[in-house]
Amino acid sequence: MTRLSDDWRRTHYTKEVDESTTNSEVTVMGWVHEIRDLGGIIFVLIRDREGMIQLTAPTKEVSAELVETIRKLRKESVIGLKGIVQESGKAPNGVEIIPNEIKLFCLANQPLPMDPTEKVKAEIDTRLDSRFIDLRKPSVSSIFKIKSKMLHTVRCFFEKNGYLEVNTPKLVASATEGGTELFPITYFEKEAFLGQSPQLYKQMMMSAGFDKVYEIAQIFRAEEHDTLRHLNEAVSIDMEASFMDDVEVMKVLNDLVQEVIINVKEDCSEELKTLGIDLETPEGHFEIVTYDDAVDMINSKDVPMEWGEDLSRAAEKALGDMMDGYYFLTEWPTEIKPFYVMPNEKDPIKSHAFDLMYKDLEISSGAMRVHQHDLLREKIAEKGLNPDAFGGYLKAFEYGMPPHSGWGLGADRFNMTLTGLENIRETVLFPRDRRRLTP
């Protein structure tokens, strides 16, 4: 068994090796990004999560043994380097490390399955096939640093506003968003499904008196279409709150999106720069477009759409072209929304459902929910589903269910809006789509 000895501990990430560390000994750990052997002097660029640093080895000044070790290195090998920091006008960070000792942890095989230096552009499939190397590229790891900051902000936001984090089951017995999008699985002697949304459970948490809950978890959708916006496994940020209506939870969503953007801009400026993104902080309330108005706007662009239809891709694009950034689409027809959505009391063909859009991309849906047991049972049946299959859920509505509302925000789609990416696969470490189940 090899264990790291105490004298091989990282003292600095590469970006921390700067002028302030001049003349001191540092230990960095990383990947061999580039090797330039000029005979009398060898340069090795070492890369870690935070950046790069140059190792400079004048062959007459360092030991012959060290020169031999350096000459054996191959690109992408993992090494530890101990050395003295020295100022250097020519080195990328203004400093370089003169090596005292090098520890080779792993010699990388050659040729590499893909180039991690960003010099050669690869197709998305090639990149995803060797994702572990693709993720070494700063332009790719930046996406996940931004996602991490986004999720951290989401948790802080909910915690400071009194929400409880919950974990609901992903092995489930019934559909929530409609029956066609389910992945069936064998669950001992029974048929079960992978959860397509925590919807039913987060609502049951309202009956349990948890008042305000949130969950960040995988959702599984057996969508057959292969688009730049759909995954078969996505991450959803879900919230549910009692004694709140749709307007109030829209405000929560509005505030959350703004807070995430502010934090990402503040803490991920390097990553945004790497991605070439200049994020704008949306001010105040996002614009509200009613479904009725959306239909008129879409038709005005010669994209045919009848009242009562869901937005086609062409309709989303036409609307997106007329809108700037984030906006809410409200007052959806009851008919095309799931059974748990509350119809408008005065005009029941319309509902208290909303979507949050970013240009032509839907990033969240939510609604005030039906909290009356009998109406809910009726609505389940109207959708062609069997109310008896929803027994455990419906029961929660019989014994004290408060009025409540909530939404689900697609974390991967939200990340697309923060990183300017067109293909949702790029915002997921190991995406799952119709054609891809590995790596």
Residues that bind ligand AMO (CB under 6 A): 177, 197, 199, 221, 223, 230-231, 234, 236, 238, 362-367, 406-408, 410, 412-413, 424
Specify the residue for token string 């559909």: 175
Least distance CB 185 / ligand AMO (angstroms): 18
As a whole number of angstroms, the distance between CA 75 and CA 155 comes to: 39
CA–centroid distance for 9 within its chain:
32
As a whole number of angstroms, the distance between CA 285 and CA 271 comes to: 27
197/207 with CB nearer ligand AMO? 197
Alpha helices in 73-198 (DSSP H): 124-129, 131-134, 138-160
Whole-angstrom CA distances from 112 to 72, 115, 124, 134, 298 are: 16, 7, 17, 11, 49
Least distance CB 11 / ligand AMO (angstroms): 42
Least distance CB 176 / ligand AMO (angstroms): 6
228/381 with CB nearer ligand AMO? 228
Least distance CB 70 / ligand AMO (angstroms): 46
As a whole number of angstroms, the distance between CA 343 and CA 185 comes to: 33
128/234 with CB nearer ligand AMO? 234
Return the number of other C-beta atoms located less than 10 Å from residue 185's C-beta: 13
| Lookup: tokens for 323 | 């809108």
8/430 with CB nearer ligand AMO? 430
- Contact at 8 Å (CB) between 47 and 33? yes
203/274 with CB nearer ligand AMO? 203
As a whole number of angstroms, the distance between CA 34 and CA 193 comes to: 48
Least distance CB 208 / ligand AMO (angstroms): 17
Residue nearest to ligand AMO (CB): 410
Q: What's 228's DSSP letter?
A: S
153/415 with CB nearer ligand AMO? 415
Least distance CB 240 / ligand AMO (angstroms): 7
- Contact at 8 Å (CB) between 48 and 28? yes
Least distance CB 435 / ligand AMO (angstroms): 15
137/425 with CB nearer ligand AMO? 425
